[in-house]
Amino acid sequence: MTATVTTPQRTSALQRRLRRVVLFVVSLLLVAVVWEVYKAIGPADGGKIFGWKLLPRSNDNAMPHVWEMLSRYADPELRGSSRAIWRVVLAGAWFSFRLALVGFFIGTVLGLLLAILMARFKVAERGILPYLVVSQTVPLIALAPLVVSWGGKLEIFGWEWPRWLSASVLGGFLAFFPVAVGGLRGLTSPPAASVELMNSYAASWTQTLFKLRFPSAVPFIVPALKLAASSAVIGVVVAEISTGLKGGIGRLIIEYAREATSDPAKVFTAVFGAALLGLTMSGFVTLADIYMMRNRPKEATT
Amino acid sequence: MSAVEIRNVGKIFNVGSSNQVDALVDVDLSIASGEFVSLIGPSGCGKSTLLRLVANLLEPTSGDIAVNGKSPKQARLDQDYGMAFQQSGLFDWRSVAKNIELPLELKGWDKAKRRERAIEMLELVKLADFAEHFPWQLSGGMQQRVAIARALAVHPQLLLMDEPFGALDEMTREHMQGELLSICRRTGSTVIFVTHSIPEAVYLSNRVVVMSPRPGRITKIVDVDIEGERTDATRDDAAFFAGITAVREALRGVEMTAHVRGIEDR
């Protein structure tokens, strides 16, 4: 008989990953080049196309030079202070990162629990899913003060609800949705024949969940987790701003934005800090992805 | 004691609704221990349904089934049978050995015992070198052999197979038929085998059960009288051809009656 055995080509996978990193750096440079080109040729005070005010202003206040933004990192945060701004931004990013991590964890656990519940009971799916969709249309800014005031009144066995936890909960509120929806699709993805096979082994529902449904759901859950990771960051940053929580990158963005007229490059340092935060979060998920999908057929890994 | 007793079994899908289907009516079949029985017939004749009733993946609407003298449910809970489908249904994320260990894992066997049995099964299907490979690294025929090894892992007395070689090419298929028979000789298993192929049914079976659709029922049971052990030479044997002719005629009768019934319906 013809026994063709294919072995996974790990070297080419590594090369592909390397190429992706290079492409990422190149695209960053490209964005910087486009930015500077527009700044050079664009109208300083904005412009109209067919009577519509579409072209953004390109003066130094609205669009500082790329090198100004970068060099701003080395300067102190405030005149007279000795701390360089990169340390402030990094400290803020680290603070928000920990909050986002907690939010990501809350969102993932909640999302998976909801997905399991919906996969187990068709009634639950019909009853819960519409509310999940509706929940995501509630503006986070409206929800933030509510969560803070609820949290402020909570005290569980002498443990007081810390202020930062409200921001994490709001991050989790954005993060749980993709996990719940992706998880539901993943948990219900095994073909009928596989479910029948588990039944023929007299496997319990929990056994089927852990031996069949969860492993089948991994290719669906991982992209959902990537979304959840960046959602958690957005949730935490927005929550920091709208609840006035100090110490995080959200707070820095709003503070620096106020100084935009006198120090336009400053706010960009914080914005890039937030972007770095999101990238780091999805980077961790990607590492988890590579680990979990190491033995899967190549078509399944994207 | 017979391995499987099917008495007056009927199965109706969607009872009471407009798309009610009489999948099986009045099915009687007794299968002796160690016997190899094939179910053959056009699609919609209920052969897969009958197999699933024996496996307790479906409940009969009427009649009784006994597997090893027990109810099918008890037999399923006791893992008295192993099952293999047309799609090998191996789990991509488990190595070959881990796939075979799955039913043992679900029964709570400890790790060392599981591994020992998996290696034993892999030797049986001649894939001992592939224990740590993953299913997607194997050819279709090899995957199907792993699926059979998995079905045999609990050492069941009864093997239920639903077109297990249906997706394989003709060469691999004939090879697998020989392998299956030699496995059965060694394990002494009783087999119920659903197939679309007349030569396959005749080559493998002691008896071929011919079924017909609308409503699904048994129309004829053909005894295959091939002397001695079946080898590749059997495929040139006069008795083999006689068996094929007998099954083909029984199936032709099915088509004829179906045709006549079609006219009556108008």
Question: Would you state the pLDDT for residue A300?
Answer: 45
Give the residue from chain B lying closest to A205, CA to CA: B106
B165 touches chain A (CB under 8 A): no
Please report the pLDDT score of residue A30 as a whole number.
94
Partner A contacted by B76 (CB < 8 A): yes
- The predicted pLDDT at position A291 comes to 86
Domain assignment of residue A56, given as a range: 10-63
A211 secondary structure, DSSP code: I
- Whether A302 shows a pLDDT value over 50: the answer reads no
Q: pLDDT for A17-58, tens place per residue?
A: 889 889 989 999 999 999 999 888 888 777 777 878 788 888
Q: Could you tell me the residue range of the domain that residue B110 belongs to?
A: 87-155
Residue with tokens 């592939």: B130
Q: Where are the beta strands (DSSP E) in chain A?
A: 47-49, 52-55, 155-156, 159-160
Domain count across chain B = 1
Please report whether residue B68 resides in a domain.
Answer: no
What band does A298 get if pLDDT is binned at 50, 70 and 90? Answer: low
Residues A201 and A165 in one domain: yes
The answer on A256 and A193 residing in a single domain is yes
Nearest to A97 by CA among A219, A247, A222: A247
Residue A75 in domain? no
Q: Is A281 inside a domain boundary?
A: yes
C-alpha closest to that of B125 among B96, B93, B83, B163: B96
Subunit contact B77:A196, Cβ cutoff 8 A: no
A chain contacts of residue B106, beta-carbon cutoff 8 Å: 198, 201-203, 207, 211
Per-residue pLDDT of A210-245, as tens digits, reads 999 999 999 999 999 999 998 999 999 988 888 888
Q: Do B87 and A193 touch (CB under 8 A)?
A: yes
B128 touches chain A (CB under 8 A): no
| Same-domain pairing of A109 and A23 | no
Q: Are residues A133 and A269 in the same domain?
A: yes
* A3 occurs within a structural domain: no
Nearest Cα of chain A lies from the Cα of B62 at a distance, in angstroms, of: 21
Q: What percent of chain A has pLDDT over 70?
A: 94
Cis peptide leading into A8, omega within 30 of 0? Answer: no
pLDDT value, residue A11: 63
Residue A36 lies in a domain: yes
**Are B79 and A5 in contact (CB < 8 Å)?**
no
B62 touches chain A (CB under 8 A): no
- Chain B contact probe: residue of A4, A197, A293 with most B CBs at under 10 A: A197
Question: Domain for residue B122, yes or no?
Answer: yes
Among A1, A5, A200, whose Cβ lies nearest the Cβ of B171? A1
CA–CA separation, A257 vs A264, rounded Å? 8
Is A296–B55 a contact, with Cβ atoms under 8 angstroms apart? Answer: no
Is the residue at B101 inside a domain?
Answer: yes
The answer to whether position B92 is within a domain reads yes
Residues of B in contact with A196 (CB under 8 A): 52, 57, 85
B141 part of contact set with chain A, CB < 8 Å: yes
Same domain flag for A165 and A295: yes
Alpha helices, H only, A154-213: 163-187, 192-200, 205-208
- A91-102 residue pLDDT tens: 999 999 999 999
Asked whether residue B24 is domain-assigned, the answer is no
Residue B176 lies in a domain: no
Q: Which residues of A touch B79 (CB under 8 A)?
A: 201-202
CA distance A105 to chain B (A): 25
Q: Are residues A177 and A239 in the same domain?
A: yes
Which chain A residue is nearest to residue B159, measuring alpha carbons?
Answer: A200
User: Is B115 in CB contact (< 8 Å) with chain A?
Assistant: no
pLDDT at B263: 43
Please give the span between the terminal C-alpha atoms of chain B, in angstroms, as a whole number. 46
Can you tell me the ipTM of this complex?
0.82
Residues of chain B short of pLDDT 70, as ranges, are: 1, 254-266
Q: Do A51 and A94 reside in the same domain of the chain? A: no
Determine, yes or no, domain membership for B259: no
A157: phi then psi, degrees, rounded to nearest 5? 50, 50
Task: Determine the pLDDT at residue A301.
Answer: 43
Chain A / chain B CB contacts < 8 angstroms:
72
Kindly state whether residue A23 falls inside one of the protein's structural domains.
yes
Q: Which of A8, A202, A295 is nearest residue B93 as measured by Cβ atoms? A: A295
Q: For position A173, what pLDDT does the model report?
A: 92
* Tens of pLDDT, residues B53-102: 999 999 899 989 999 888 999 989 888 898 988 888 899 999 999 999 99
Dump pLDDT digits (tens) for A100-154.
999 999 999 999 999 999 999 888 888 888 888 888 888 888 888 888 778 777 7
Same domain, A110 and A200: yes
Number of domains in chain A: 2
First to last CA, chain A: 32
Asked whether residue A217 is domain-assigned, the answer is yes
Cβ distance A1 to B57 less than 8 Å, yes or no, reads no
State whether A117 and A244 are in the same domain.
yes
Pick the residue from chain A with its C-alpha nearest to B94: A295
Is B181 within 8 Å of B213 (Cβ atoms)? no
Q: Among the residues of B25-124, which ranges form H helices? A: 47-54, 72-77, 96-106, 111-124
Tell me, yes or no, if B92 comes closer than 8 A to chain A by beta carbon. Answer: yes
- Are residues A116 and A179 part of one domain? yes
Q: CB-based contact (8 Å) between B106 and chain A?
A: yes
Task: Tell me, yes or no, whether A273 and A134 share the same domain.
Answer: yes
- Chain B contacts of A212, Cβ < 8 Å? 91
pTM of the predicted model, to two decimals? 0.79
Contacts of residue B141 in chain A, CB cutoff 8 Å? Answer: 1-3
- The residue among B53, B77, B136, B144 with the most chain A CBs within 10 A of its CB, best to mutate, is B136
HSE (side-chain half, CA atoms, 13 Å) at A177:
18
- Amino acid (one-letter) located at A185: R
Residue A207: list chain B partners with CB under 8 A.
106
For residue B116, is it within any domain? Answer: yes
User: A24 with A169, same domain?
Assistant: no
Average pLDDT over residues A288-297: 84
**Residue A228 forms part of a structural domain:** yes
Task: Considering only the beta carbons, identify the residue of A202, A215, A300 that sits closest to B76.
Answer: A202
CATH number for the domain spanning A124: value is: 1.10.3720.10
Q: Helix (H) and strand (E) counts for chain A?
A: 11, 4
Residues A216, A186: contact at Cβ < 8 Å?
yes
Domain-located, residue A179: yes
Q: Which of A227, A99, A243 is nearest to A174 (CA)?
A: A227
* pLDDT score recorded for residue A5: 53
